[in-house]
Chain A
Amino acid sequence: DAKTTQPPSMDCAEGRAANLPCNHSTISGNEYVYWYRQIHSQGPQYIIHGLKNNETNEMASLIITEDRKSSTLILPHATLRDTAVYYCIENSGYSTLTFGKGTMLLVSP
């Protein structure tokens, strides 16, 4: 079973920032927080990952709390094409991924 907890669904207006939370209260010291997303009918797509520090790439930003028990994925200017299921996953990098049900993000005009 997935060890992370995410809200089942969220809404966001187009052009606004989408902030997707994730709780990972049992995360181990060597486990990274990974975010993937799955647009309808497609294979999952890697977004970003981090260990302790906040991370940013061309797709998103990842904010990890100091105690590492939770994180937030930020899509700074959501578009309709960002409508997808977003998965937060703990992984040490040496093991297989365990997907939960994720958060269904609906971006509306």
Chain B
Amino acid sequence: NAGVTQTPKFQVLKTGQSMTLQCAQDMNHNSMYWYRQDPGMGLRLIYYSASEGTTDKGEVPNGYNVSRLNKREFSLRLESAAPSQTSVYFCASSAHRRGGSTDTQYFGPGTRLTVL
């Protein structure tokens, strides 16, 4: 079990370039999440997908798009990168069963993105 995997691990972009961050989980989880973490800060939710085929905005969605490609994969796209998007991006997943009372999230190792 690899858990949650993310690619790439590191990326440097120029302002205005686009890129897609990939995330995959092999735990058969229903829900997936994208967070960003700026230096010295806690994580902030960008987008999440409660189940395959659905996506919802989190706290800081501007400048990002997401695709829940299938149950395993959830991608994050930056259409026109800006220096303010320099951050570490974490993907997470959780079982989120209907009627469940608790929901633990499992995180990937992160993608370190620098926008010049």
Query: Which secondary structure characterizes the binding site on chain A?
Result: loop
Which A residues lie within 8 Å of B58 (CB)?
A: 96
Q: Is B2 an interface residue (CB 8 A)?
A: no
CB within 8 A of B90: which of A32, A43, A87, A91?
A: A43
Check A96/B48 contact, CB under 8 A, given A44-B43, A101-B42, A102-B42: yes
Closest CB in chain B relative to A105 CB, distance in Å = 15
Q: Which of A91-106 contact B (CB under 8 A)?
A: 91, 93-94, 96-102
Query: Which secondary structure characterizes the binding site on chain B?
Result: loop
B42–A93 touching, CB < 8 Å: no
Which B residues lie within 8 Å of A91 (CB)?
A: 103
State the CA gap A41–B40 with chains docked (Å). Answer: 12
* Interface range on chain B (Cβ under 8 Å from partner): 20 to 34
Closest CB in chain A relative to B11 CB, distance in Å = 15
B104–A43 touching, CB < 8 Å: no
B110–A99 touching, CB < 8 Å: no
Which A residues lie within 8 Å of B70 (CB)?
A: none
Closest CB in chain A relative to B7 CB, distance in Å = 14
Closest CB in chain B relative to A102 CB, distance in Å = 6
State the CA gap A2–B41 with chains docked (Å). Answer: 12
Q: Is B54 an interface residue (CB 8 A)?
A: no
Which A residues lie within 8 Å of B42 (CB)?
A: 2, 87, 99-102
Considering only CB atoms, which chain A residue lies closest to B102 in the complex? A93
